């Protein structure tokens, strides 16, 4: 080798090597996340990956830009859907929407308007708007014609402990009576029904529970219109019996499991006779409780799906076409203090009343 060749080989630049080029995409992403999270100093991250601090800052900037783009609102979210001219009339309608449909209190209405709109309203203004709308509604209700209603449904609800008399069209569910009353006796119901009669209400028949005041008021106001018994209260009373019997059956099953565990422990001590009699009685009681619960549940389904159903065979053909569930020990006769006494009384009322000859469907 000549001197020139030796010098040339010695002074030739060495081939550059960059560790950054060998980093995979997942490594670069993790490096950016570590830099953004600040888990370690940038200098330490650069040394661990054998790269420069500038490279670490570049990866962190790329990660920050990706996160910003990912969580930036889309154009569809920023698009203006519509522009509302907030006039006084629109504001009054908005107040009524919040009060009637949103069930918002007056202070809630005031806060919503201040939060969403460039406007402020006082509590007095909100009260005046609601009061004026109630007056207009009262005048419109006084002019309504109720002659098209063929079946009326009546009941009572309570607001702050005071009775509210309710009447609705069974076909359209339109509520034509919602009156706060001092009581729910014959006088209150009779007065309301007479006022409804003045508006043209003369249904073919009505549907109601067996409240004495309601039925006495209708008998006084509309003596020629029959009042059929509803099915809700009967089905609810029967369902309460079903639930009671199911719980009793579950308690009997739990008692058998407890005694069975005691029997296993007693057998290990050769003392099984002490528990055998109680276990046998518990198993017998469990079988009887399960049979009664199953039978009554079957009868409840038959009552709801056939006897009290709106669709199905007519009343005269039901005994020939349907057979209730039978089998197992017959349940004891209900006394006044048993949980199913209420259901028995309701069914007896519905079957013995001439006005409610069919507690079933209005179509029959």
Residue 209 lies in a domain: yes
Among candidate residues 83, 106, 123, the one where a domain is terminated: 83
Closest CA to 95 of 85, 79, 84, 107: 107
The CA angle 274-280-284, to the nearest 5 degrees, is 155
DSSP state letters, 278-318: HHHHHHHHHHHHHHHHHHHHHHHHHIIIIIS-SSSS-TTTH
Angle 123-142/88-96 helices, nearest 10 degrees? 80
Q: Are residues 279 and 185 located together in one domain of the fold?
A: no
Q: SS3 of 140, please?
A: helix
Q: Which residues constitute the domain of residue 223? A: 151-229
| Integer-rounded Cα radius of gyration of the chain | 40
- Residue 10 in domain: no
How many domains does the chain divide into?
4
> In terms of domains, do 35 and 61 share one?
yes
- Same domain for 202 and 138, yes or no, is no
Domain finish residue from 53, 68, 83: 83
- Domain CATH number, residue 162: 3.30.420.10
Same domain, 112 and 210: no
Q: How do the pLDDT tens digits run along the chain, 364 residues long?
A: 443 344 344 444 444 457 778 888 888 888 888 888 888 888 888 888 888 888 888 888 988 888 888 877 766 667 788 888 889 999 999 999 999 999 999 999 999 999 999 889 999 999 999 999 999 988 888 888 899 999 999 999 998 899 999 999 999 999 999 999 999 999 999 999 999 999 999 999 999 998 899 999 999 999 999 999 888 888 888 999 999 999 999 999 999 999 999 989 888 888 888 888 999 999 999 999 999 999 999 999 988 888 877 655 566 665 554 444 544 444 444 444 555 555 555 555 554 443 444 433 333 3
């Amino acid at each position: 080798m000549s001197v020139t060749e030796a010098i040339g080989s010695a002074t030739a630049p060495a081939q550059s090597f960059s560790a950054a080029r060998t980093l995979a995409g997942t490594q670069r992403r993790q490096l950016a996340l570590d830099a953004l999270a600040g888990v370690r100093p940038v200098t330490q991250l650069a040394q661990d990956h054998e790269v420069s601090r500038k490279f670490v800052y570049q990866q962190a900037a790329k990660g920050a830009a990706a996160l910003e783009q990912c969580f930036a609102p889309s154009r569809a979210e920023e698009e203006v859907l519509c522009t509302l001219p907030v006039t006084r009339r629109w504001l009054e309608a908005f107040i009524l929407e919040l009060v009637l449909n949103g069930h918002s209190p007056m202070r809630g209405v005031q806060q919503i308007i201040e939060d969403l709109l460039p406007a402020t309203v006082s509590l007095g203004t909100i009260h005046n708007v609601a009061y004026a709308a109630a007056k207009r509604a009262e005048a419109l209700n006084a002019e309504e014609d109720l002659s098209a209603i063929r079946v009326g449904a009546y009941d009572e609800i309570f607001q702050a402990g005071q009775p509210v008399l309710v009447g609705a069209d069974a076909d359209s569910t339109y509520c034509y009576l919602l009156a706060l009353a001092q009581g729910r006796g014959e006088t209150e119901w009779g007065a309301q029904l007479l006022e409804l009669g003045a508006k043209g209400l003369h249904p073919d028949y009505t549907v109601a529970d067996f409240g004495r005041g309601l039925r006495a008021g209708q008998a006084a106001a509309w003596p020629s219109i029959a009042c059929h018994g509803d099915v809700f209260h009967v089905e609810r009373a029967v369902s309460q019996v079903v639930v009671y019997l199911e719980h009793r059956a579950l308690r009997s099953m739990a008692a058998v499991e407890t005694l069975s565990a005691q029997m296993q422990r007693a057998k290990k001590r050769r003392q099984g006779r002490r528990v055998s009699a109680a276990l046998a009685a518990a198993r017998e009681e469990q079988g009887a409780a399960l049979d009664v619960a199953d039978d009554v549940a079957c009868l409840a389904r038959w009552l709801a799906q056939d006897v009290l159903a709106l669709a199905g065979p007519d009343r005269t053909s039901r005994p020939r076409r349907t057979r209730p569930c039978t089998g197992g020990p017959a349940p004891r006769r209900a006394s006044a203090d048993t949980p199913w006494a209420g259901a028995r009384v309701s069914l007896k009322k519905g079957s013995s009343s001439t006005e409610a000859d069919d507690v079933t469907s209005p179509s029959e």
